[in-house]
Structures are given as C-alpha cells and as structure tokens.
Structure 1
Amino acid sequence: MGYEWFVSLRYLRAKRKQTFISVISFISIAGVTLGVAALILVLAVMTGFHDGVRKQILGNIPHVLVQKYGGALEDSPGFLDDLRQVSPHVVAVTPFVARESMLLANGNVSAVSLKGIPRSHKVLKKEFLSLDNQDVASLLFREDDNHLPGILVGIDTATALGVSLGDTINVIPPMFTMTPFGMIPKMKPFRVVGIFRQGGGFLDTFFAYVSLPQAQAFLDSREQLTGIEIDVDRYDHAAGVAEALRARYGFPYVIRSWEDMFGSFLSALKLEKLGLFIVLGIIVLVAAFNIASTLIMVVMEKNKDIAILRSMGATSRSIMKIFLFEGLVIGVVGTSLGTVFGLLLAWNADPVIKWAERTFGLKIFDQAVYGMDHFPSVVNSGDVLAVVAVSLGISLLATLYPAWHAARTDPAEALRYE
C-alpha cells in the first residue's frame, strides 16, 4: 500500500484535539448512506408500482388490438390464422364483441363495456367467486335453455348493483326494438355466475363479460367482431408486432399496441420516477458538501504536515492523492452502507409496511385503492448501479477542490511561523 493511502487513512482517525473533524466525517458518511438508501428504496417502490400498474392494464386489455375503421371485422377463421402467422412472438389471437351497456338490478344502474369473449380468453384465468365453486368457463358457456345466460362482473360493479352470485342482471345496450307502441330499449336478463374475487385495478369495474355467441346474438353481430386481441410472449414485443401488422394490413384496419393505448400513463410514472431520483439525489449532494467541508478543515489543520511532506520530496500529485483518497473513503463507505441498507429495505418493504401498520395503527398502503395484494417493491439492478455511480461521482467531485488546494500549498510559507 502506497504511503498516500497510509496517510489518508491516518487522517481519518482523529486525535484528541481533532474530534470535531472526525464527527463531521461521520456525519458525511451518514449523509451519503441515507441519501443512497433513500434513492434505492424509492426507485424500487416506483418500479414496483410501474410494474403493478402495467400488469393490471395487461390483465384486462390485449397486447395488440386489431379493429376496423368505421365498421366491424368479419368472423373469419382464415383471417385469425393469418394474424397468428405475422410474428413468432404471437401466442394468442382472440376475437371479441363489445358494446357499452347499462346494467340494471335492484333499482341500481351501472355502466360497463359488455364484452363477449371465447373460452380461450385470458380473463377466464383470473380468480373468481363462482356458483358452487364451479369452473367459471363452464358456467359462462353452458348451453341450457332452462337457465339464463351467464355474466361475469367485477366486485365493485356487483356491490354497486347490490347483486351476488346467482342473481339476475338486466343488460341494456344502446339499441332499440320497434314495437306497435314505438321504440323501446333492447334488454335481456343475465345470471351472475362469477365475480372478480380480487380487485385487479381501475379497469375491472369497466368490463362485464359474457360468452361470445351470446354477445353476437344479443348485439346483432352474428358473424361479425368488434375487434381481435393479440397477446405476445413478452409485453415489450407488442410494439414490434403491431408495426408488422400495420405493414401488412393498411387502412381501414386500426392496429394499436398497449403502449399506444396506455403508454402515456406509464410514461407519467417514469417521469415521476426520474423526478424523485433528482430530488433525492440532492440528499447525496448535501452530503457531498459535508465531505468537501471536512476535507477543507483537514487541509487547514494539516497545513504543517503537508509542508513537511513536500519538504521531504512528496510531489503535488501525491499530496492531491492523499486527500482524494480520504474523500473517496468517505464516499465509498457511505455508498456501500447505503446500498446495503437500501436493498434490505427494498427487499423487505412489504413486511416493514405491515409491521408499521400493526404497531402504530396506521393505514399506509390501502390494497383496495391500488388493486395490489402487497406493497410493490422491485429492485432493478440498473437503478442500483446508477445510484452507486452518481453517489461515487458526486463524492469524487467534492474532493477535487480541497485536494487541489492542498497540492498548491507552499512549504516555505506554511513553515514560516512554525
């Protein structure tokens, strides 16, 4: 180990008369530690919320949506097969029929998008409350003239209507039937065969599901489709698949990826994450000022030592290294402790939040509001590396001026009055 390292580490250990400088060094390390830990924890929480919201969105909408401008799509097996061949990333092609409708029950009304889906639709893989705990798909697609057709609704919709499993809901689309007494709204009763057991977010209350054949018959859309949903193997492949579809199918087809429909919302979350990174980065910047002030005081205190070292042959470069190393030790120790502390908090955020709620009787995270069953926290290695790099970079910059000032010390001037 070079003597520069030895001297810089020796300066970090305070003598009896230099306790104040040692305390300032400890405060600098603590400041860097808190700043780095706060950055890692907040970025992990923001990443968790971002991923949670994306999962909620993709649990209800397709990765890619194919529709036709000004009209309906034809219910053609050949067209569905062509869509499957567009890209190897396509894993599912699902037709549907949808129409905004009113649900009426017990004198209560709720507006939903009534969606007719086939048996292979991904929404049927969700967790439901169902009649007699039977398979929801079997209840929804049961062809029995002795029973009303089935419908699936969200828990919030069922609460608003005051209905439970087995109750009847009247569905009223914006369609009318001509009678001798004039035009009357079209209406059909459905039986509630399934309710979303777990809230999946703000989109759950917007949809109600029936079987595709029932929807086509009820909405006068036989052999027609409102759109076709395409799911891909990974959500980030959706944009590429959508672009390939646009290249093959031009106007009047309208092809949108999930990013086209909800990308602006997720972009807002990313912008908020960047803003928090900048704001919390100021904590590290404040700690860097403490590092700079500590080194300046050390330089002033060790002015005679620096002059002696210079007289013994130490170069300006070596003197600069001594104080650069001292500042870097403070920065590295603070960054390391902050990284460990921040990762521990990020990995255990949900247990910590639940412990705080039990201990202090507070409601910090309302699962019903966010539609998530646990406090989201996802550690992204790129975010951690960025925080470490920023912290070490700021710490290095804070040492430059004190180290440069020490290197410029004139030995003769420093020892004149000694």
Structure 2
Amino acid sequence: MGYEWFVSLRYLRAKRKQTFISVISFISIAGVTLGVAALIVVLAVMTGFHDGVRQQILGNIPHVLIQKHGEELSGYQEVIGTVKAASHVLSASPFVAKEAMLLSQRNVAAVNVKGIEAGHKVFQQKFLSIEDQDVQTLLYDDQSGIPGIIIGLDTATSLGIAVGDSVNVIPPMFTITPFGMIPKMKPFRVVGIFKQRGGFLDTYFAYVALGQAQRFFDSAEGVSGIEIEVDSFDHANLVASTLRSEFSYPYVVRSWEDLFGSFLSALKLEKLGLFIVLGIIVLVAAFNIATTLIMVVMEKHKDIAILRAMGGTSRSIMKIFILEGLIIGVMGTVLGTALGLLIAKNADPIIKALENLFGIRIFDQSVYGMDHFPSVVNSSDVLAVMAVAMTISLLATIYPAWRAAKMDPAEALRYE
C-alpha cells in the first residue's frame, strides 16, 4: 500500500480533536448512500410500472404484425417460414380477424372476432370453461355440432351469458335474397371465458378456430395477417426492421410500438425526469464530500507542509485527497447499491408490511390492474446510477485536492 492510501485512510479516522470532521465524512457517505439507493429504487419501480402499463395496453396484442395492404395475405406458410428464420423470433401464427356483433338474449356487444391456431399465446391464461375442461380442446373439437368461441368476462357480463351458452355472431356481411339483404349470422357456443388479463384491449376480442373463421368470413385459404412473438418487447422494433427488408410493399410490417408506442412515451419521459431530479440528491452529497475535504485541507495544513518538506510531490498530495474523496464515494455507492437492490427486490412485501402496520392502502391493486407492487431491476439502470455517483464523487474531490497540492509549505509553517 502506497503512503498516499495510508494517509487517506488515516484522515478518515476520528481523533479526539477531529471528531467533527469525521462525523461530516460519515454524513457524506450517508448522503451518497441514500441518493444511490433512492435512484435505484425509483428506477426499478418506474421500470416495473412501465412494464405493467405496457402489459395493460398490449395484453394479447402481438409484438410484430405482418399484413398485406388492401387485401388478404395468401401463401402465408412461406411467409411464416421466412419469419421464423429471423433472430429473436419465438413464434409466428396466422389469424383471421373481423369486427362483429354478438347477440344473445336481446343483448348486443361489439367485438373483434379473431380466428387463431392451436398453441396461440391466448391459451396461456386462465379460463372459465365447461366442466373445467381444456379450453383449447373444446375450441378445436370438430365433433361438436356448434363451433366454439372464447369471449372476455366483460363481454359475457354485457350479454348476460355463461360458459355453455350460445351466442349469435353477426359480421358486417350480407346475403342477397329476393326479400333484400339479410345479415349473415351463425350461432357459436361459449366454450371459455377469460378474465381481463391486464390488457384493456383484450376485452374487445373473441376467439374462434382459424378454420371456422376462414369459412365464416369467406376468407378461403387467405388470412388477415401474421402475428409474431419475439423474446422481448424491446426487440420488436429490431425484428420489424429486419422483416421490412424481406417483405416490401404491398406487405406492411409494424411493431407494437408503431401501433401503440405513443401511450408509453410519457412514461419514458417521466423516468428520465425522475432520474435527473433524484440525481440532484447525489449531487448534494457530492457537495458534502467537497466540504469535508476542504475542512480536512484546512485542518491538515501543517501535515501537508511537512510532507512537502520531506520530499512529497504536489501530485502525491493531490492524490491523497482525491483518494479520500473516492473512498467516501465508493463506500457510499456500494452501500447505496446494496440498500437500493435490497429494497427494490423486496418492494412488494415491504409495501404490504407498511400497509398492515399503519392500516392504510398504499398500492390499490384494483386501480392499477396489477396483482403486486411492480419493481423490476435492470442491470443497465444500476450500472448507470453507480457510474453517475462515482463520477460526481470524483469531480467533487478535484478542487480541494488541487488547493492542497498548491499549498506553499513555508507559508503554512511560518507562524508555527
């Protein structure tokens, strides 16, 4: 260990006449700790809310959507083969969709009837089904006389129906007869009801088998489009850009951000704003570091003069005080990171404990549509906070260290 390290650590330890300076040092460490912890916790909560709201908006909306401009998409198997070869793509499935009215017991509900293949991600959620049977098996059961349909809980409530009941589906299609145009209508049996999973768009969808939808909507062998799932929401734009180079006009390739990205732009701006505002806490702690070092320089002017007289260079003197400030910054950053991660990882139980302790409601799950308090720790956010804290701490040491290095030893010892 160089003598600069030894002297820096020595100056941080309290002596009888220097207790006040040592207390200021610990306050500086505490300030950096609280600032870093607050930044990590708030960014984790904002990320959690961002993901939660994104799920609220998207629900079962695909990550990437491929359609054909002004017409149905034919030969979709070849398109699916090309799509699955792209990186980050988990699945690609065709669908047929058309707006329709559901009619039952003189009640009407508007939905988007979507024909899907078996294995679609919509089947990953929980359903109310006939005798708790597998919804996917019931939907694709060709032996039943009436085809099956899956609707949302809100739609079922509006129609006043339950699983096993029949509902008439009326698309915007008409049959010309001698008596005029008669709307096309077909009965379906409700084989499953899904509770709104979080996406407010989910309630407007009703699901049927792909083959049934093609026949009912006269789509022949064509489909409305292809839904693509990728391994992360954040990779959707990258996959969409890659596929645009493969499928030019009349194909239309859109990511979920192209469809609904404007809903989330405000959240991104809010997260950046909170990062800046809470970063000021770390900046205030850095002023404490600078104040501490200035007081140490004033207190140790005789020590500095003696070190210079013994052959210490101005660079070594500057290094002593920079190291002292960095020790405070590193200790505060490490402790703050540990505290922030501890709180962020256990945010939900901490919130519930506070609610039980004080008998108040801090996080209303019914309002936000989330079953737990959201908190998602991103390693990139943590590293950014640590880098900012260390940079601010380093900058706070420069002026006091420079003043100490420029001190004239003869002037410092003149009146001693």
TM-score, normalised to structure 2, is: 0.88
How is 1:26-175 mapped onto 2 (pairs within 5 angstroms)?
26-53=26-53, 60-74=60-74, 76=75, 79-89=76-86, 90-105=89-104, 108-144=107-143, 146=145, 148-175=146-173
> In structure 2, how many angstroms separate the alpha carbons of the residues matched to 1:322 and 1:248?
60
1:84 maps to amino acid: G
Alignment-derived partner of residue 14 in structure 1: 14
1:393 maps to amino acid: T
Count how many residue pairs are aligned between Structure 1 and Structure 2: 414
How is 1:10-409 mapped onto 2 (pairs within 5 angstroms)?
10-53=10-53, 60-74=60-74, 76=75, 79-89=76-86, 90-105=89-104, 108-144=107-143, 146=145, 148-178=146-176, 183=181, 185-197=183-195, 199-232=197-230, 238-239=236-237, 241-409=239-407
Secondary structure in 1 matching 2:60 = coil
> In structure 1, how many angstroms separate the alpha carbons of the residues matched to 2:168 and 2:102?
6
> In structure 2, how many angstroms separate the alpha carbons of the residues matched to 1:413 and 1:233?
67
Change (3 A) 1:320 1:246: closer
> In structure 1, how many angstroms separate the alpha carbons of the residues matched to 2:368 and 2:237?
27
Change (3 A) 1:279 1:115: same
CA offset at residue 395 of structure 1?
0.5
Secondary structure in 2 matching 1:111 = strand
2:147 maps to amino acid: P
Report the identity percentage: 72
The CA RMSD over aligned residues, in Å, is 2.9
CA offset at residue 203 of structure 1?
2.6
1:48 maps to amino acid: G
| Conserved 8 A contact 2:84-2:90 | no
| Conserved 8 A contact 1:86-1:244 | no
CA offset at residue 231 of structure 1?
3.5
Secondary structure in 2 matching 1:85 = helix
Gaps (5+ residues) in structure 1? none
| Conserved 8 A contact 2:60-2:199 | no
| Conserved 8 A contact 2:67-2:251 | yes
Deviation track 1:276-318 (CA, whole Å, cap 9, x = no partner) reads: 2222111101110111112112222223332333333332222
Change (3 A) 1:37 1:183: same
> In structure 2, how many angstroms separate the alpha carbons of the residues matched to 1:168 and 1:407?
87
Change (3 A) 1:141 1:355: same
CA offset at residue 267 of structure 1?
5.0
Instruction: Pick which of 260-269 and 391-400 moved more.
Output: 260-269
> In structure 2, how many angstroms separate the alpha carbons of the residues matched to 1:139 and 1:87?
28
> In structure 1, how many angstroms separate the alpha carbons of the residues matched to 2:305 and 2:280?
36
> In structure 2, how many angstroms separate the alpha carbons of the residues matched to 1:186 and 1:356?
57
CA offset at residue 338 of structure 1?
0.4
> In structure 2, how many angstroms separate the alpha carbons of the residues matched to 1:92 and 1:404?
60
| Conserved 8 A contact 1:151-1:190 | yes
TM-score, normalised to structure 1, is: 0.87
